[in-house]
Amino acid sequence: MAFNLEAPPGTDIWRKPPSTNIWNAPISHTNTGPLKKFLSARVTFWADWTERYDQAGLLLVPRRASAPPPTSTGPAPDKWIKTGLEYYQSRPQLSTVGCDRFADWSVVPLVLTAGEADPGAGTGLTIEIAREGDEHGKSLWVYRLVLGSGGEVAERIPLREICWVLADEDDETAGEWLLDVGPLVARPEKVAAAPLKVEFKSFEVQWAS
């Protein structure tokens, strides 16, 4: 599924103490299911990055079934994750932000592997977030995927492990946990003259049967 999305200037998702709580990025193409059945989400995208904090990728919002689904004009949800690319210090950076109470941000420069095609030349950047588990428990892992010429995964580069998301997924005392998954677009710079236009080459979410 290929599509284009735009984010006007002054849009972002960010929460920082003592009082910053921004939630006005466009919300669309949301795929929703039970949190405990979520397996993975993957997106391939690219844009003409020009403004500080230009960003695109994946947005995940865990919520109780009694809570309203996220919208760009509604209240900010309590918990969320965004991961993908953010334009920072005048270069594309691989970025992941997790928000449980307040947000934290990890960022690392986008470095291509040997022989990898430039994502801006048409291939796009592919990000995946997947459920995994080991002897210590369960978590979500964020990866940058290097794809081969046939679309196969040639390399899976780990970016971040997020553990708190799945901690309460089996606790239904206050209602079932759901997960909203969608593409992310935002252009925080208010002085930008035009919207950020992002080309999404694919967006897919996998749920257990």
Over the stretch 52-87, which tens digit does the pLDDT of each residue have?
999 999 999 999 999 999 999 999 999 999 999 999
**96 CB contacts (<8 Å, ≥6 apart)?**
81, 82, 83, 105, 106, 107, 142, 159, 160, 162
Hey, where are the domains in the chain?
3-113+167-207
| Architecture of the domain delimited by 3-113+167-207 | Sandwich (2.60)
User: How confident is the model over 91-145, as pLDDT tens digits?
Assistant: 999 999 999 999 999 999 999 988 888 898 889 999 999 999 999 999 999 999 9
> In whole angstroms, what is the distance from residue 89 CA to residue 91 CA?
6
On whether the CB atoms of residues 98 and 108 are closer than 8 A, the answer is no
This prediction's pTM: 0.96
